């Protein structure tokens, strides 16, 4: 059975690639070929559903691995060790769930795009790119080694570049895709360094083999510092890909791409790749690395939430909320709540994709108007969009009975326990305040878009509900944002079906480098998954209800304030903005981070490249021109030599020949008598010779 699952998952990996190639080359000629791509994705989704069900139901505690050796060099000198690259597929619970999530959301986005991108002049190519992206994402998810993750990581970056810059005639879109690629590369450098540290020390890229060696006590370069460094460097890849501070600047700009692309890439899947990566290497992260990760996650979520308060573009609000939620997930990983982090990843994928597609529906209805100040009262005109969007917003705000509540609550609980046990109280404080802020600005968005009076009457009149192709994905995704699928208990997911299958793995880092609370003395082993120490479990129980209450309170506060300001119009938001103008501007301008990066990094890079260009133009070209000048002169001298000396010699020889010739023609006097004399002379010579010999 495992064999079949592995084969199916590999097939599921390559099917979108097939779609990409076919649609890319034949799409221009066969206009309906995009349907082929959509069908392929549908097939993929069915395959992944099948795999998920089989795996989780029948083989919940096993890991299926299939690998083959790609490159195998023997060591040919004592300084060059043997090199062996294995490539392979690993099916884990986490893997199959991600497989399902990626395939489903990709398929729904394909459906949505049929109508949304209709009439675009590069319609088929869009679907080809979507196929490429899905292939790359599945590659990241399915692989069992760091090398393949890196390869597909870059592929995902490329697909994201192509898709963000899909409307590249617009300068802002081209710039945004360039920015995304460059910031990703900065993160990827860290990732590569981390991978190299591990490879240099352990000689392999495969996760399991690396973890085995670390568990055996074999530290990279023999020190804990290097282990921490490797962990943090790999995390840098996640910082780039999952838009953590300070590399988060690309994600809001990436909203220049088509909205379904934003849904697929920047809400649900690609940005989740970073979280997935950290989850994969979770077991080798030391306490210092984990703390670093948690802090970065907290900072990110806070900054993004404050910016989302003041944004006026639907997609930008959603983008910043994505950054904030990603910060949540990273923070959760940092505090050790692996299972909740992954849970939040899955639920966030669904409700964020639902919200992005919903905003796409709104934008489509408003004829590509994205400023929420022009919208209002759309709930009467776009009912399905409104209701699905509302459900998703409830999920993100952490309202009970939604999936988002379950995951968010778990994270907040974990942060509380962490703060209590390690004394880092700032992290739970930030986490809870961000929860409140999230509720506030999400409901602000809902009220401004769907409630109130329409601010642009003309556009309002023309708005109509989107066709079924666009609303069906919305319905499906919002349905998946309900608690029921993940746990039968709407409040406590710990015994739910999801958390039963996804458990926090045991860390392999030597105990001295781990958080005290995580080390367990008496634990029950379930396969490889060990629950946390007793102290930790106790703390969790202790704070359970506290955390629950606090999250409910904060969510309620956020929603209340939003309603207060925007629905009941008790307070005018513009007046508040005037009163706290500097703060408002700081938030509106994204903390001026873009300008900071531009001034510090970009300008200096441009100056450096200008200097290099000057060097190239003046010095290198000068050398080239100088050598050309020298060469010309040398050839002139050569020409002079050739003309006077060589030709002189030739002429001299010719003259000598003619002189000698003329000398000898004097023999030819024309007088026969002379010729007779010569003949006689020759005869004399002849006879003398004959006589002598």
Partner 1 sequence: MNLYSLAFYFLAFITIASAVVVVFSRNLVYAAYSLMFTLLSISGLYVLLTADFIAIVQIMVYVGGILILLLFGIMLTQEQTRVKVKVNYLYIGITMLVIGLLGAVLYNYIPFVTNDFSNINYKNIPNAVVPGTSTIKQIGSSLLNQYVLIFEVLGMLLLIVLVAATTIGRKEK
Partner 2 sequence: MENIGLNHFLFVSSVLFILGLAAIILRKNAIMVLMGVELVLNSANINFVAYSRFLGLGISGHINTLIVIVLAAAEAAIGLAIVLNLYRLNQNINVDEFEELKN
Write out the residues near partner 2 by the rule CB under 8 A.
Answer: 665, 668-674, 676-677, 680
- DSSP symbol at 25: H
Q: Which is nearer to partner 2, 77 or 665 (CB)?
A: 665
We find the least distance from the C-beta atom of residue 666 to partner 2, in angstroms, to be: 8
Residues in contact with 423: Cβ distance below 8 Å, sequence separation at least 6, in sequence order: none
**Binding partner at 670 among partner 1, partner 2, none, C-beta below 5 to 8 Å by kind:** partner 2
Give the gyration radius of the chain's Cα atoms. 37
Cβ atoms within 10 Å, residue 170: 12
CB closer to partner 1 out of 172 and 674:
674
Q: Cβ of residue 645: shortest distance to partner 2, in angstroms?
A: 33
Strand partners, 83: 73
Of 606 and 677, the one with the shorter C-beta distance to partner 1 is: 677
Task: Kindly compute the dihedral angle of the four CA atoms of residues 376, 377, 381, 387, in this order, to the nearest 10 degrees.
Answer: 100
Cβ-based nearer residue to partner 2, 216 or 672 = 672
CA 684 to the chain's CA centroid: 109
Question: Which entry of partner 1, partner 2, none binds 576, CB below 5 to 8 A by partner kind?
Answer: none
Looking at the Cβ atoms of 221 and 660, the one nearer to partner 2 is 660
In terms of Cα–Cα distance, which of 129, 105, 147, 145 is closest to 34?
129
CB of residue 683 vs partner 2: minimum separation in angstroms?
A: 10
Q: Which one of partner 2, partner 1, none interacts with residue 11, CB within 5 to 8 A by kind?
A: none
What is the rounded CA–CA span in Å between residue 549 and residue 400?
Answer: 11
Rounded distance between C-alpha atoms, residue 536 and residue 539, angstroms:
5
CB of 681 to partner 2, least distance (A): 10
Phi/psi of residue 336, nearest 5 degrees: 95, 5
Spatial CA neighbour of 496 closest among 484, 485, 487, 504: 487
Task: Give dist(CA 415, CA 333) in Å, integer.
Answer: 10
Partner from partner 1, partner 2, none binding residue 669, C-beta < 5-8 Å depending on class: partner 2
Among 301, 398, 319, 381, smallest CA distance to 355 is for 319
To partner 1, the closest distance from the beta carbon of 660 in angstroms equals 22
Residue 611 or 685 with smaller CB distance to partner 1: 685
Let me know: does 153 contact 109? Beta carbons within 8 Å: no
What angle, rounded to 10 degrees, do the helices at 146-164 and 224-241 form?
Answer: 20
Q: Which does 691 bind (CB under 5 to 8 A by kind): partner 1, partner 2, none?
A: partner 1
* Cβ 688 to partner 2 shortest distance, Å: 16
Binding site for partner 1 (CB under 8 A): 677, 680-681, 683-684, 687-688, 691
Contacts of 581 (CB under 8 A, 6+ apart): none
Cβ contact 252:309 at 8 Å: no
| Nearer residue to partner 2 within complex by CB, 77 or 673 | 673
- Provide the H-helix boundaries in 366-466: 383-397, 403-422, 426-450, 457-462
Q: CB of 665: closest distance to partner 2 in angstroms?
A: 5
Residue 216 or 667: the one with the smaller Cβ distance to partner 1 is 667
- Rounded Cα distance between 504 and 339, Å, is 5
If the CB atoms of residues 564 and 687 are measured against partner 1, the closer one turns out to be 687
Minimum CB distance to partner 1, residue 647 (Å) = 40
Asked if residues 55 and 2 have their Cβ atoms less than 8 Å apart, the reply is: no
Among residues 232, 230, 265, 262, which one has the least CA distance to residue 157? Answer: 265
Q: How near is the Cβ of 681 to partner 1 at its closest, in Å?
A: 5
Instruction: Identify what 668 binds: partner 2, partner 1, none; CB under 5 to 8 Å per kind.
Output: partner 2
Q: Please check whether residue 30 is in contact with residue 128, taking contact to mean a CB–CB distance below 8 angstroms.
A: no
**Cα separation, 362 vs 581, whole angstroms:** 30
Q: Which residues contact 523 (CB under 8 A, 6 or more apart)?
A: 530, 531, 532, 533, 534
Closer residue to partner 1 (CB): 29 or 691: 691
CB-nearer residue toward partner 2: 77 or 668: 668
CB of 682 to partner 2, least distance (A): 13
Residue closer to partner 2 by CB (options 119, 670) is 670
* Residue 20 and residue 163 in contact, taking contact as beta carbons nearer than 8 Å: no
Reading the block at residue 19, the tokens are 């779609």
Work out the number of other CB atoms within 10 angstroms of the CB of residue 597. Answer: 16
Measured from the CB of residue 672, what is the shortest distance to partner 1 in angstroms? 14
Choose the contact partner of 672 out of partner 2, partner 1, none; CB within 5 to 8 A by kind: partner 2
Q: How far is the CB of 672 from partner 2 (least distance, A)?
A: 7
């Amino acid at each position: 059975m495992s064999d079949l699952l592995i084969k199916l998952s590999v097939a599921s990996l390559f099917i979108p690639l097939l779609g990409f190639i076919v649609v890319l080359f034949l799409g221009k000629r066969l206009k309906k070929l995009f349907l082929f791509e959509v069908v392929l994705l549908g097939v993929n989704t069915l395959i992944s559903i099948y795999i998920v069900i089989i795996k989780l139901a029948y083989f919940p505690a096993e890991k299926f691995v299939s690998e083959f050796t790609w490159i195998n060099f023997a060591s040919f000198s004592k300084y060059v060790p043997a090199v062996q690259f294995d490539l392979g597929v690993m099916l884990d619970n986490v893997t199959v769930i991600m497989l399902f999530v990626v395939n489903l959301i990709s398929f729904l986005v394909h459906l949505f795009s049929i109508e949304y991108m209709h009439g675009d002049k590069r319609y088929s190519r869009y679907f080809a790119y979507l196929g490429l992206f899905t292939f790359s994402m599945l590659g990241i998810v399915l692989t069992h080694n760091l090398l393949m993750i890196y390869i597909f990581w870059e592929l995902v970056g490329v697909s994201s570049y192509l898709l963000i810059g899909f409307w590249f005639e617009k300068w802002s879109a081209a710039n945004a895709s360039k920015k995304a690629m460059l910031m990703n590369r900065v993160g990827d450098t860290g990732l590569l360094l981390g991978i190299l540290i591990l490879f240099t020390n352990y000689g392999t890229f495969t996760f399991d083999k690396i973890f085995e060696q670390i568990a055996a006590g074999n530290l990279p370069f023999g020190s804990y510092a290097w282990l921490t460094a490797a962990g943090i460097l790999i995390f840098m890849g996640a910082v780039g890909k999952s838009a953590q501070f300070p590399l988060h600047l690309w994600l809001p700009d990436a909203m220049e791409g088509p909205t379904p692309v934003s849904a697929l890439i920047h809400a649900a899947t690609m940005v989740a790749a970073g979280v997935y990566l950290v989850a994969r290497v979770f077991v080798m992260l030391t306490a210092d690395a984990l703390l670093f990760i948690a802090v970065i996650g907290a900072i990110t979520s806070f900054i993004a939430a404050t910016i989302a308060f003041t944004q006026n573009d639907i997609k930008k609000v959603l983008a910043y909320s994505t950054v904030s939620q990603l910060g949540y997930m990273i923070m959760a990983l940092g505090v050790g709540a692996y299972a909740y982090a992954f849970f939040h990843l899955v639920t966030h994928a669904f409700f964020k994709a639902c919200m992005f597609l919903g905003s796409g529906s709104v934008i489509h209805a408003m004829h590509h108007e994205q400023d929420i100040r022009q919208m209002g009262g759309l709930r009467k005109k776009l009912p399905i969009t409104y209701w699905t969007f509302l459900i998703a917003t409830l999920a993100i705000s952490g309202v009970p009975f939604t999936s988002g509540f379950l995951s968010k609550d778990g994270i907040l609980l974990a942060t509380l326990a962490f703060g209590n046990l390690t004394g880092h109280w700032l992290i739970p404080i930030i986490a809870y305040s961000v929860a409140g802020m999230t509720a506030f600005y999400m409901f602000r968005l809902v009220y401004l878009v769907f409630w109130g009076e329409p601010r642009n009457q003309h556009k309002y009149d023309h708005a109509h509900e989107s066709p079924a192709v666009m609303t069906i994905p919305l319905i499906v995704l919002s349905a998946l944002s309900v608690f029921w699928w993940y746990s039968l208990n709407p409040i406590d997911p710990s015994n739910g079906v999801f958390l039963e299958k996804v458990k926090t793995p045991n860390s392999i880092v030597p105990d001295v480098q781990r958080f005290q609370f995580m080390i367990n003395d008496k634990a029950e082993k379930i396969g490889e998954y060990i629950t946390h120490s007793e102290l930790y479990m106790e703390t969790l129980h202790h704070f359970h209800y506290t955390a629950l209450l606090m999250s409910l309170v904060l969510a309620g506060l956020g929603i209340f304030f939003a309603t207060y300001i925007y629905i009941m119009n008790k307070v005018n938001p513009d007046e508040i903005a005037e009163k706290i103008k500097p703060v408002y501007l700081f938030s509106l301008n994204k903390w001026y981070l873009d300008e900071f990066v531009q001034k510090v990094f970009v300008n200096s890079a441009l100056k450096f490249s200008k200097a290099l260009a000057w060097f190239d133009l003046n010095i290198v070209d000068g050398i080239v021109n100088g050598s050309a000048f020298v060469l010309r002169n040398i050839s002139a001298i050569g020409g002079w030599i050739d003309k006077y000396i060589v030709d002189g010699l030739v002429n001299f020889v010719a003259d000598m020949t003619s002189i000698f010739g003329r000398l000898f023609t004097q023999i030819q006097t024309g007088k026969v008598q002379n010729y007779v004399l010569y003949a006689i002379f020759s005869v004399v010579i002849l006879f003398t010779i004959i006589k002598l010999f």
